[in-house]
Amino acid sequence: MKNRIVAILFAALFALPALAQTTTPAAAAPAATASNNATGKAPLAIETKEGFWGRVNPFARKNYVKRQTEPIRDRVNELDELTSQNGKNIKDTDSRAQAGIKLASDKADAADQHAVDAGNKATAAQQSAQQVTARVQTVETVVGNIDQYKASNQTEILFRPGQTMLSKNAKDALDTMAASVKGQRGYIIEVQGFSSGKAQSAITNSQKMAESVVRYLVLNHEIPVYRIYLVGMGNAPAPTDDATAKPKRVSGGRVEISLLKNDLEQLSANTGAPATSMDQAQQPK
């Protein structure tokens, strides 16, 4: 009998831990909604009833410990995954922000370069407009003075009475004058013949002397005929620089050659435009 009682006591002693481990926990306090936390799941329930052994069970079995720790381990894993995903999202957002900043910076640099190019083009256009204005003013000045020829050189050829042939000295003087106008434009040569005598005979003789000068310039120096203006003055008195002095008449004959120039050569040099077309406008019709 005594042994049976002892056996019952030992059985009760070993049954109490099992009973404590299988105790169903009391209803947890009202849990927060799943949408109020980062994982999207309801928080772990807090046990309000501790069982026979309290929070520490010296006779806890492996399955009991596993049941208690699995929810915590699952939540820790979820938190790690959530942290990793947040890190990836932050990196992605940062990379997109850096790309947007770089794109905006590149566009700003391109806009600055376009502005610099536009400024350079505007400056070049202004300079070109100023050059065109200066050339137009030069052309207007030259065109206004196109018929205003200025004497630049004068040569006098003397003839013996009744002679119309050119001497060696006369040819040398004409060679020098022709060399000074070679390749130039905007000039004319005025040839005036003077002869002693009277009436028509003097005019005819002066005309022949002037023609001999023109013939030499055209044939020997290829000066265009339209650049030469010839007139036989007969026995008209020679002009003098002094308006108060009395004109003198010379014996024999002479021819005065005057080289007259306008500003067409200056126009060609300043504007770069050929003066040929304007120069040809001076041709006698």
pTM of the model: 0.43
> Using an 8 Å Cβ cutoff, are 205 and 197 in contact?
yes
Residues 153 and 52 in one domain: no
Looking only at the bridges linking them, the beta strands covering 228-232 and 150-159 are unpaired
Confidence tier at 171 by pLDDT (50, 70, 90)? very high
Residue percentage of the chain with pLDDT more than 70: 62
| DSSP letter for each residue of 165-230 | SPPHHHHHHHHHHHHHTTT--SEEEEEEEEESSSHHHHHHHHHHHHHHHHHHHHHHH---GGGEEE
pLDDT of residue 49: 54
Looking up tokens 């052309």, which residue turns up? 139
Instruction: Categorize the per-residue pLDDT at 120 as very low, low, confident or very high, splitting at 50, 70 and 90.
Output: very high
Q: Look at the chain and report how many structural domains it folds into.
A: 2
Q: Is the pLDDT of residue 180 over 70?
A: yes
What pLDDT shows up at residue 153?
82
pLDDT of residue 1: 64
pLDDT at 228: 92
Q: Assess if residue 203 is contained within a domain.
A: yes
pLDDT at 17 over 70: no
User: Is residue 264 domain-resident?
Assistant: yes
Range of the domain at 51: 2-60
Mean pLDDT value of segment 138-167: 76
The order of strands in the sheet holding 228-232 is: 150-159, 253-261, 187-195, 228-232
Confidence at residue 262, expressed as pLDDT on a 0 to 100 scale: 77
Closest CA to 268 of 152, 188, 183, 147: 183
- Say yes or no to pLDDT of 219 above 90: yes
Find the CATH number of the domain harbouring 160: 3.30.1330.60
E strands in 49-181 = 150-159
Number of H-type helices and E-type strands within the chain: 6, 4
Decide if pLDDT at 145 tops 60.
no
User: Do both 158 and 269 map to the same domain?
Assistant: yes
Shared domain for 152 and 269, answered yes or no, is yes
Cβ count near 210 (within 10 Å): 26
Main-chain phi, psi angles of 46, to 5 degrees? -95, 125
Tell me which of 11, 31, 60 is where a domain ends: 60
Both 155 and 273 in one domain: the answer is yes
Greater pLDDT, 271 or 119 = 119
Query: Is 16 contained in some domain?
Result: yes
Q: Is there a domain that residue 178 lies in?
A: yes
- Least confident span in 19-33, 41-55, 59-73, 79-93: 19-33
Under the banding of pLDDT at 50, 70 and 90, the label for residue 46 is low
Q: How confident is the model at residue 189 (pLDDT cuts 50, 70, 90)?
A: very high
What is the structure's pLDDT at 24? 45
The two structure tokens encoding residue 34: 């799943």
- Burial status of residue 253 (CB atoms within 10 A of its CB: 0-12, 13-18, 19 or more): buried
Pair of tokens at residue 46: 């807090």
Structure confidence at residue 2 as a pLDDT band (50, 70, 90): low
179 in any annotated domain: yes
> For residue 132, is it within any domain?
no
Q: Could you say which of 60, 81, 101 is where a domain stops? A: 60
Q: Give the distance from CA 40 to its chain's centroid.
A: 62
- Residue 29 included in any domain: yes
Domain identity same for 35 and 152:
no
Indicate the pLDDT class of residue 172, thresholds 50, 70 and 90. Answer: very high
Question: Is position 94 within any domain?
Answer: no
